[in-house]
Amino acid sequence: MSFLEFSSGEKLFLNILTNFAYTLFRLSDNYCGVMLFDEIELSFHPNWQKRLLKSFIHIQDEISKSKKLYLHLIFTSHSPFILSDLPKENVIFLENGKQVNPDIKQTFGANIHTLLSNGFFMSDGLMGEFAKSKINEIKDFYEK
């Protein structure tokens, strides 16, 4: 399959990972630092979101071994798939720019629906607003 036949998500996934690897290779040996990735999962199909952190960690591990890199990777995200790959101790929850502590026992390996409703403060449910309004119209009709 040629690169031109890839979907836009596949191209983006490959682009992000090769840029990450390229950046790591360019760092000096024994480099210590922090890398920030802001909403890196945007535009990715959920299946690609599920694979993203594993791919980052694999690349970092392989390159860091030979170059002795000491990096902290920080990800901001609205994806429950990203959140489910991280231990709760490594997660900071923000609501309206302020740190909060939602009622989540664990994030690592957690059910994405639980993470989505609790970790992303979706107290009004996980249903689309259009469907919800139509269901409420029918409910109101029958109650009258």
Mean pLDDT for all residues in the chain: 90
Average pLDDT over residues 79-101: 91
Q: How confident is the model at residue 3 (pLDDT cuts 50, 70, 90)?
A: confident
Average pLDDT over residues 63-69: 91
DSSP 25-65: HHSPTT-EEEEEEESTTTT--HHHHHHHHHHHHHHHHHHHH
Q: What pLDDT does residue 134 have?
A: 92
The H or E element that residue 70 is part of is: strand 70-76
Q: What is the pLDDT of residues 10-64, one digit of tens each?
A: 889 999 999 999 999 999 999 999 999 999 998 888 889 999 999 999 999 999 8
Q: What pLDDT does residue 116 have?
A: 84
**Percent of the chain's residues with pLDDT above 90:** 57
pTM: 0.78
- Higher pLDDT pick, 84 / 103: 84
84 with 112: CB under 8 angstroms?
Answer: yes
Q: Which two tokens stand for residue 97?
A: 């720019």
Q: Which two tokens stand for residue 57?
A: 């960690």
Q: What pLDDT does residue 141 have?
A: 92
29 φ, ψ (degrees, to nearest 5):
-60, 145
